[in-house]
Amino acid sequence: MNELSTNDLLSFLNRITIGKKSSTKRVRYAHLLAFFNFCKNNLVSDLRNPCDSPMLRQLFRATTPPYWDFIEKETIDEIIFRTTIIRNRLILELMARGGMRIGEVLKLTPKDISDQKLILRDSKSGRESEIVFIPKRVAERLKEYARSACKNADDLLFPISYEAARVIVSKAGKMVEIKLRPHDLRRHAATYASRAGVPIEVVSKVILRHSNLSTTQRYLGKISEAEAVSWIDNLYR
């Protein structure tokens, strides 16, 4: 084991993580680092850990998770209420009220609607299906729209491209003079729910449908100093 060099470990890590995400590469590196540390602490006291080098630590360092500014509910409401085309408004509401991804919205068909539940087939998570819960008023408008826009149960509710949907969202943001992207609406759904008192587990598992809480936490918007003071004051009022 002492014959293994840092370059040997780097070559091995590159080989087993080719095509993988950066987060996966960091996990594999952490596993090897922990393995050699265990061997040194319990088996070979003079073992030199080939993973413990400035080069590898730099290559596989953890990145700072991005945090986004929170778009206030009043702004989102204004965007939605000022969108007069029913198709476009529903697309915005499903992301902002239901936490849906734009790709999920564009795959919806009438047969996927079940009262206030939407059945997502071929989901991003790899599961056979997922369930999205939406507000009653949105569900009623969606069902009414489906009856008028679709002839068959398998027809797409919104037969437009991703690029066309992105343009719809961008134009909606311009009405209130903000830069708006589809995923901003999904992040708003999570952040608003969290700050309204919804348990983080519900935000994660029900609204965003994440497999772990750490992914959800990266979605939540930044908290300003004014907001922090307001929350503390309300807590101990």
Structure confidence by residue, pLDDT tens digits, 158-177:
999 999 999 999 999 999 99
* Unique residue bearing structure tokens 């919806």: 108
Using 50, 70 and 90 to split pLDDT, how confident is the model at 63? low
Does pLDDT of 30 surpass 60?
yes
The answer to whether the CB of 175 falls within 8 A of the CB of 76 is: no
Q: 22: burial class by Cβ within 10 Å (0-12, 13-18, 19+)? A: exposed
Average pLDDT over residues 190-218: 82
Q: Per-residue DSSP letters for 24-75?
A: HHHHHHHHHHHHHHHHHHHT-TT---TT-SHHHHHHTPPPPPP--PPPPHHH
pLDDT of residue 222: 62
Q: What is the dihedral of CA 7, 13, 14, 20, to 10 degrees?
A: -160
pLDDT, one tens digit per residue, over 94-150 is 999 999 999 999 999 999 999 999 999 876 656 668 899 999 999 999 999 999 999
What are the backbone angles phi and psi of residue 65, rounded to the nearest 5°? -65, 140
Query: Highest-confidence range of 2-6, 46-50, 145-149, 217-221, by mean pLDDT?
Result: 145-149
Other CB atoms within 10 Å distance of the CB of residue 84: 7
pLDDT of residue 89: 97
pLDDT of residue 237: 65
pLDDT of residue 139: 95
Say how far apart CA 237 and CA 220 lie, in whole Å: 25
The answer to whether the CB of 61 falls within 8 A of the CB of 154 is: no
Say how far apart CA 207 and CA 190 lie, in whole Å: 7
Residue type at 105 in one-letter notation: V
- Which CATH code fits 73-225? 1.10.443.10
SS3 223: coil
The answer to whether the CB of 151 falls within 8 A of the CB of 167 is: no
pLDDT of residue 221: 60
Token pair, residue 225, equals 């100093």
* Length in residues, the chain: 237
HSE toward the beta carbon, residue 216, CA cutoff 13 A:
22
